Amino acid sequence: MPRIMLIGEWRSGKSTLIRHLSRSDYRPRKVFAVDHHGDFMNTPSEFLENRRWYPALITASAHCDTLIFVQDATRTTCQIAPSLAAMFNRRVVGVITKIDLPEASVQRAERFLRNAGVREMYPVSLSTGTGLDVLREALGIS
């Protein structure tokens, strides 16, 4: 049973994050369905971006211990609804990706995640590896 479900906008870094955390060559299937890979569940961005699909997120989360809301630090907008984390009876962690890019604003991404109800946040760079060890330790991944 997967332990960790990732939720985020299109091209926010969910698949790359799974690849780094699982230390595998994970390649997502581009289908409109939840993609399982070991201890991870990758959700389609459409499930977040269209509130009509929130029941699918809630149902899929029943099989997880932890949810990760992935927020791209270069985005100036956020599709994660205010207080969305409160819908889940699970630990919700925020991961801020792309922090190494010149246009990144970690503070803005933190504000977006706080607005969504996330209190535990980890900034990471998937290209340099910055923050991945801290995130692995927080998630209990060796």
Domain boundary assignment for the chain: 4-139
User: Full-prediction pTM beyond 0.75?
Assistant: yes
Neighbours of 138 (CB within 10 A): 14
- At 6-55, the pLDDT tens digits run 999 999 999 999 999 999 988 877 768 899 999 999 999 999 989 999 99
Q: How far is CA 141 from the centre of its chain?
A: 15
Q: In a 3-state reduction of DSSP, which class is residue 116?
A: coil
pLDDT digits (tens, 9 = 90+) for 70-123: 999 999 999 999 999 999 999 999 999 999 999 999 999 999 999 999 999 999
The CATH superfamily label for domain 4-139 reads P-loop containing nucleotide triphosphate hydrolases (3.40.50.300)
